[in-house]
Amino acid sequence: MLEVVTRDMMVNEIRELGELGNSSKVPGKQLFAATDPPAIVFPPVVTPQWEEQIRRLYLLLTVNESAIDVPTNLEARRRVAFFTNSLFMDMPRAPRVRKMLSFSVMTPYYSEETVYSRSDLEMENEDGVSIIFYLQKIFPDEWNNFLERINCKKESDVWESEENILQLRYWVSLRGQTLCRTVRGMMYYRRALKLQAFLDMASEDEILEGYKIVTDPTEKQKKSQRSLYAQLEALPDMKFTYVATCQNYGNQKRSGDRRATDILNLMVNNPSLRVAYIDEVEEREGGKAQKVYYSVLVKAVDNLDQEIYRIKLPGSAKIGEGKPENQNHAIIFSRGEALQAIDMNQDNYLEEALKMRNLLEEFNEDHGVRPPTILGVREHIFTGSVSSLAWFMSNQETSFVTIGQRVLARPLKVRFHYGHPDVFDRIFHITRGGISKASRGINLSEDIFAGFNSTLRRGNVTHHEYIQVGKGRDVGLNQISLFEAKVAFGNGEQTLSRDIYRLGHRFDFFRMLSCYFTTIGFYVSSMMVVITVYAYLYGRLYLSLSGLEAAIVKFARDKGDTALRAAMASQSVVQLGLLMALPMVMEIGLERGFRTAFGEIIIMQLQLAAVFFTFSLGTKVHYYGRTILHGGAKYRATGRGFVVRHEKFAENYRMYSRSHFTKGIEIMVLLVVYRIYSSATPDSVAYIFLTVSMWFLVVSWLFAPFLFNPSGFEWQKIVEDWDDWMKWISSHGGIGVPASKSWESWWEEEQEHLQYTGLLGRFWEVVLSLRFFLYQYGIVYHLHVANHNTSIMVYGLSWLVIVAAVIILKIVSMGRKKFSADFQLMFRLIKLFLFIGFVVTLVLFFALLNLTVGDIFTSLLAFLPTGWALLMIAQACKPAVKGIGMWSSVKALARGYEYVMGLIIFAPVAVLAWFPFVSEFQTRLLFNQAFSRGLQIQRILAGGKKQR
């Protein structure tokens, strides 16, 4: 109330005296009493500003909420908290806008969503959930605010007006990962500069009149080039340039694509926005037509795009990786001393844009021997509010972009360029190779190569925590896995690159180690962990099957094995892997208190975060190892939609079959065989104690995709998934048949990396497959039918079984081709004779060679992995196998294995789906954050149709 009186009711000349009098607090003297002229003019002159102050005073006197719940919106509360905290951080003093460094922002865009259309909003998925229905349930308070803003009482009123529908489209788009959201966020820079320039340039009278007078000028002010309004329009444009590099805009415009219209609308609504694109034009030279490529920059004038610059290119701009090429062709249109490369799924906030002047001053600050060339900026992950997966990723990413990068920058001095909020010294980089290396394959992760390039050319990369930019992350398990695969591919290519080689040679010893462990070393270590599990299991199995383990255990018991047991116990504790969560605990503790940090870690463990991170380990290792062996890394589009939907079993099988399921089943078979033949674990307790961490790995790799799949244990979904999977695996491929429709097309696609690998890659693929032969060698000597014979002939005879199986498979395959259509009776007779022969052979073995039922089970454990090894070798030697006409048999064998693997994985999921409480438990597990905020997640999962 005092502020309203001193700021709005006191006469201007007396105002400072009034404030001085208030600060002195002389006892017994009444404030504002007996001043001449009168200190207070009441009633004051009625102006819009005065009416706003009265409304504000009324709100302050009548509001019921406690201060801790203001503002009620969680995102607004977080933004206010970070902004106020950041003001106490160490940051350079901001210069006047006229004297600040000028900068540009660049956003690469291909064909992602720009603004959601009306049909997008209303389109329902298989559960009857539309985007608008989803957002209404996830952001109920913001939806109510939106209805109030457009003066609508209920949802049906919104659809009655085209203007309201347009507003609704923008409201939805600003909550997704769209170009519209990114442009809105980046244009806050201009608004912030305009406000700050007003405070720099306006006189005291103009400041007292308020900023609204500048934003709503008279016609005279608009026409005058010397007016404050004209200066405030010009100055931000001199200091800030925003270029959206929409490389396909020309093609989209010619084809009448809706996205082109949306991009044009963005330019019309934001007159300072510029769009760069590649124009393909056919021109005739010497009587011959040829394609000519231009880089074109356009702006909006009178609701149309107007060309500003057109630069002829020497050829097609898309010769390397798409995204860096998109940035490279448009960098010439940027201006100023600094350049910020912002990704398409990012956002910005007005209060953060106010600090950009301070950040740019870092280029003039002392940061050691060399001036900074890249200013690192922290990110806020805005997609972690609904599902547990999004929350895990958000916490992991937050710890990396804060405490992780802070340590990398200082004291380790090995921070590179990881996130797109980083600000480049533009002049430094465009004279030293640019900000985006774009060679196909090797520069898949183009951002970190910019950091390598900067460091190798005597640059200095710093990190600053007082300013942040929003970042969208993947929110579904399949999206997260695609992202992890892309990063693993990128790290594999970095390992093979000359940049890492040069850095390793030029760094001092400590920076070299720091660089290794914070880049490719993490992936090498992850691969070593998994390889260690394999080596440990195969080693223990070798000891058991060879009889060495029994001798070692006997010797240890005679001498005393207390020390060995103590060492194994400590190993099991370390295997919990909680150290990986330490950076997360520290960062949450520093920002929100250690009590909150430990609480969140406990809740994450209860929501099976350990299962998720173990599953992610498998993704990283598989794709990193494949890239090292075979190369061929490629960009994987992860999708940026709203994901709370059920993924079909066939989709999960296609995505995780090679990276997780085959490896998980292999480790499971090794653990089962070890339990059967081990001498060191006579009882179940000792066995569990020794292998619990590996069983945890198996369960995580086999069942995490279903555990983190919404409605993953709902019986009706399970039935539909089984029908879909059977249809997919039975379908024959062909030219033009996508992998999602046919198992054969998918199987061929999965071997694509082997087509382009070298001789060395094929050799190592064969060598790695030989482990199954050694495994078979160990087991066949323990069959009763072997009668304790240790001759090599036993192993040789075991191969006769495999050869016989291959011959039978070939006969059936040839019979199907020759007789199945015209001579069905002949084909059935062949299958009957084969079956009778198999039964007779089994009877003879039981009668003459002491074969037991246990031997049959053990033989399956021995020979099934051998068959898989033969499959792997056949795929690695595909040209040779095709040459001898065995490829169709290999394909038939592979299909049989896929059936078996699918059944092994699907059966436990189907059994759990019988119990309704499992589905309820899983829903609570996945969406605990939503339940705790009172969101109606059940209605989203149940479907919008039923609830309307």
What region does 110 belong to: left with phi over 0, alpha with psi -120 to 50, or beta?
A: alpha
Give the CB-side neighbour count of residue 880, counting CA atoms within 13 A: 6
Q: Answer yes or no: are the C-beta atoms of 247 and 277 closer than 8 Å.
A: yes
What's the rounded Cα separation, in Å, for the pair 318 and 247?
Answer: 10
CB atoms < 10 A from the CB of 942, how many? 15
Query: Residues with Cβ < 8 Å from 178, sequence gap 6 or more?
Result: 112, 113, 114, 115, 116, 640
How far from each other are the two terminal CA atoms of the chain, in whole angstroms?
Answer: 47
Give the CB-side neighbour count of residue 188, counting CA atoms within 13 A: 18
What separation in angstroms does the CA of 12 have from each of 7, 18, 198, 208, 732? 9, 10, 21, 10, 86
What's the rounded Cα separation, in Å, for the pair 707 and 871?
Answer: 30
What separation in angstroms does the CA of 356 have from each of 81, 546, 935? 18, 68, 36
What's the rounded Cα separation, in Å, for the pair 250 and 256?
Answer: 10
Q: At what angle do helices 477-496 and 520-546 cross, to 10 degrees?
A: 100
What's the rounded Cα separation, in Å, for the pair 655 and 481?
Answer: 9
Give the CB-side neighbour count of residue 38, counting CA atoms within 13 A: 6
Nearest to 177 by CA among 106, 248, 252, 109: 109
| φ and ψ at residue 187, rounded to 5 degrees | -70, -10
Q: Answer yes or no: are the C-beta atoms of 378 and 465 closer than 8 Å.
A: yes
Burial call 671-697: b when 16+ CB within 10 Å, e when fewer: bebbeebbebbeeeeebeebbeebebb
Give the CB-side neighbour count of residue 443, counting CA atoms within 13 A: 21
CB atoms < 10 A from the CB of 13, how many? 9
Preceding omega of 371 cis (within 30 degrees of 0): no
The tokens for 646 are 């059920």
- Count of all residues that appear for the chain in the document: 948
pLDDT value at position 909? 94
What's the rounded Cα separation, in Å, for the pair 676 and 199?
Answer: 80
Nearest to 298 by CA among 353, 260, 355, 255: 260
pLDDT value at position 393? 84
Please give the biggest Cα pair distance in the chain. 125
What's the rounded Cα separation, in Å, for the pair 288 and 280?
Answer: 16
Q: Answer yes or no: are the C-beta atoms of 280 and 251 closer than 8 Å.
A: yes
Nearest to 359 by CA among 389, 342, 338: 338
The pTM is what?
0.85
How does DSSP assign 844-906, residue by residue?
Answer: HHHHHS---HHHHHHHHHHHHHHHHHHHHHHHHTHHHHHHTT-HHHHHHHHHHHHHHHHHHHH
What's the rounded Cα separation, in Å, for the pair 721 and 32?
Answer: 79
The tokens for 135 are 């957002």
Query: Residues with Cβ < 8 Å from 606, sequence gap 6 or more?
Result: none
What's the rounded Cα separation, in Å, for the pair 505 and 410?
Answer: 21
pLDDT value at position 570? 47
For the chain of 948 residues, list the mean pLDDT of each consecutive stretch of 10.
61 49 53 60 74 81 69 88 93 95 95 90 78 84 91 88 92 92 96 94 82 74 78 93 94 92 94 94 83 94 93 86 89 95 93 96 93 94 78 85 90 86 95 88 87 94 94 84 91 93 94 93 92 90 85 77 59 51 84 88 87 92 93 69 77 94 94 86 79 90 92 89 93 82 91 86 92 87 72 79 76 65 67 76 70 76 89 92 86 90 94 89 76 57 50
What separation in angstroms does the CA of 787 have from each of 793, 851, 928? 13, 10, 58
What's the rounded Cα separation, in Å, for the pair 272 and 224?
Answer: 20
Collapsing DSSP to helix, strand or coil, 833 comes out as helix
Dihedral (Cα; 262, 267, 273, 277), 10-degree rounding: 60
Query: Residues with Cβ < 8 Å from 25, sequence gap 6 or more?
Result: none
